[in-house]
Structure 1
Amino acid sequence: MSKLDFFVPSELFVKSKSAGWTRNSLKYRRFDSLASAVKFAMDEYGANLNGTSIHTNTDEYTGSAIRSLYESEHYPLKGRHAVLGGAKHGAFSAPRNPQAASHKFKIGDTVIYLRPGLVGRSGYYEVVKVLPVEHAEPAYRIKSKIDQHVRAVKEREIAPA
């Protein structure tokens, strides 16, 4: 059996538990690598992967198969905050304190969402979750201080308040 290529583009599909099979019952996300898709699935849905599937050009992985990929000895992104770095097919190593090395903000920080492509600032937000680094770009979940709306953003889309 040949070694699995964790660097092929992948798509993640998650079926909503409450809505039946309707147009809006699926969540979808694209990833540049299978490793990133597996990591996201385990971080977000790890305890319950039912209804979760990852598709590549040649394969489909669901439920326990996703967990098997994550636990594989060949899986390149060990640990919750492992950094993919710039290499596509090289060795990987996570820094000792990856959050400090790669994220500018921490949970509880107040930031301004810059709304890329639009003029002006759009208000104050609080960082509620530090997301794993994906493709060398830190990401966060931020919550509006006005209407409590939560959104996922890249570090380049926010600034210190």
Structure 2
Amino acid sequence: MLNRITRKVAAALSTPPARTHLGLCLIELAWLVPLLAVLGTAGGLLNWAPALNVATLKLALLAIAVPSLGEELFFRAALLPSPDPPKRFPWRAAAISTLLFVLWHPLQAPLFGPRWSELVLNPWFLLSAGALGLACARLYWKTASIWPAVLLHWTIVVLWKSLFGAPSPWNG
């Protein structure tokens, strides 16, 4: 089983993104961003506070690896079946993967302190994480590459943290 997972992860990493994958990212963003805006507004998660500075740039660089690449490799490449777009989307596997992705966030609470705990235990945040997880699963399935899902995940995290004052476990 470990060999199978290793092969899936290696295939996801080695499948380069194609030009058409950007369009698929935009399709996922088209439904995800409005949904996240509604959830974020309802849950008090969006506070317009642009912070475009060196600290934000460092955070954006770090966010490529953690959470974007790390979480996508585990929750999508390792847990989902190998992508086969002619086949139907694996809703059951995607639901389990997304649920585990959502549950992963509250497990971080004791590691990163009270401000982070307040966020990752917020039900609106958890619903938002579920929406992001589903969008990334769909994108991974359609492209057979982890890179478009990493880009989508990274984009959401960086925009939220740089424009809407979201806390980060790395900046207190």
- Structure with greater strand percent: 1
TM-score (norm 2): 0.27
* TM-score computed with the length of structure 1 as normaliser: 0.28
Higher RCO structure (Cα 8 Å, ≥6 apart)? 2
Higher CA-based Rg: 1
